[in-house]
């Protein structure tokens, strides 16, 4: 026997065995730098430390207003990230041009509002508009596409029809609910339903927004989940314990949560 897993069920078997991958969002390292207009801390150096500590990928959101990550950052990240480089961006002509120049491993398309403190909700996934055109162009150019969406099965289905290969479920509603409250249970059930829908649609599944070491466990147990994008909560803990320890501990929390997955 070769020991390889083959056949249509192999992916699901591996997902049950392997915990979701951790992609560290290093935006808020850049936030500290931009707050004072200094050259430090360097998000590119932070990405190296995260990968050395075991992160499987790096995520960076190049916003239209350039409030944290800058164009130079994403160029250097593309050259230096050894794992997966995920570029978060709005579905605009400017960002499409940058993505086609950079050729990240994949792009996660997210909604943006100039006045928001952070991303407030998932994309409005509707056919015939700019979003669909950007998705189509990226796919035609060989760049993977993920859509950041609210955890609703109907939205998952629309994302699949639009041509996305991956959906990232917005976990902010779950994270905002009081821990172990009825509302947290309701939001987790929403995530579970959307995760099952992603599996049924044959989509790769990610999740993120607002997660930290204390809240990630139940999300890591979602069916079909392959990757988690976590930034602010990890960077905040790194202020206290250091970046390496924060990554190691978060990966351990993800693995512990994933061990509760249904067979």
Angle at 207 between CA 203 and CA 212, to 5 degrees: 165
pLDDT at 246 over 90: yes
pLDDT digits (tens, 9 = 90+) for 56-115: 999 999 999 999 999 999 999 999 999 999 999 999 999 999 999 999 999 999 999 766
Assigned architecture for domain 20-258: Alpha-Beta Barrel (3.20)
Q: Smallest Cα–Cα separation from 55: which of 256, 249, 203?
A: 249
Q: What is the CA radius of gyration of the chain?
A: 18
Q: Which residues are catalytic?
A: 61, 88, 209
**pLDDT given at position 3:** 42
pLDDT at 212 over 70: yes
Q: Smallest Cα–Cα separation from 173: which of 156, 155, 188?
A: 188
**pLDDT given at position 121:** 86
pLDDT grade for 117, boundaries at 50, 70 and 90: low
Q: Smallest Cα–Cα separation from 129: which of 113, 109, 152?
A: 109
Residue 115 DSSP symbol: T
Listed by start position, the domains of the chain span: 20-258
**pLDDT given at position 261:** 81
Angle at 83 between CA 134 and CA 210, to 5 degrees: 70
Strand 204-208, strand 144-149: pairing? unpaired
Both structure tokens of 140: 């035609």
- Residues 257, 216: contact at Cβ < 8 Å? yes
**pLDDT given at position 237:** 98
**pLDDT given at position 99:** 98
Both structure tokens of 221: 């147990």
**What predicted TM-score, i.e. pTM, was given to this entire model?**
0.92
Which class for 125: exposed (0-12), middle (13-18), buried (19 or more C-beta within 10 A)? Answer: buried
Identify whether 41 is preceded by a cis peptide bond (ω within 30 of 0): yes
Spatial separation of the C-alpha atoms in residues 89 and 225, rounded to whole Å: 22
Q: Is the dihedral of CA 119, 125, 126, 130 positive or negative?
A: positive
């Amino acid at each position: 026997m070769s020991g390889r897993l083959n056949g249509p069920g192999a992916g699901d078997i591996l997902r049950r065995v392997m915990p979701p991958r951790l992609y560290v969002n290093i935006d808020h390292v850049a936030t500290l730098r931009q707050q004072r207009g200094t050259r430090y801390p360097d998000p590119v150096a932070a990405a190296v430390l995260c990968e050395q500590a075991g992160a499987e990928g790096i995520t960076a959101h190049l916003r239209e207003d350039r409030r944290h990550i800058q164009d130079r950052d994403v160029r250097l990240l593309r050259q230096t990230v050894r794992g997966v480089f995920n570029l978060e961006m709005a579905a605009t002509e400017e960002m499409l041009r940058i993505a086609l120049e950079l050729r990240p491993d994949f792009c996660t398309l997210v909604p943006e509002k100039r006045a928001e403190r952070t991303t407030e909700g998932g994309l409005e996934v509707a056919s015939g508009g700019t979003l669909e055109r950007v998705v189509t162009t990226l796919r035609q150019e060989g760049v993977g596409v993920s859509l950041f969406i609210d955890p609703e099965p109907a939205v998952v289905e629309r994302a699949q029809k639009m041509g996305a290969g991956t959906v990232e479920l917005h976990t902010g509603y779950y994270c905002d609910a009081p821990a172990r409250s009825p509302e947290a249970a309701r939001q987790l059930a929403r995530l579970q339903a959307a995760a099952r829908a992603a599996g049924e649609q044959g989509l790769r599944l990610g999740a993120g927004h607002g997660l930290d070491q204390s809240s990630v466990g139940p999300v890591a147990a979602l069916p079909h989940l392959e990757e988690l994008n976590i930034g602010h909560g990890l960077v905040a803990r790194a202020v206290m314990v250091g970046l390496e320890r924060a990554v190691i501990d978060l990966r351990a929390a993800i693995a512990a949560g994933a061990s509760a997955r249904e067979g």
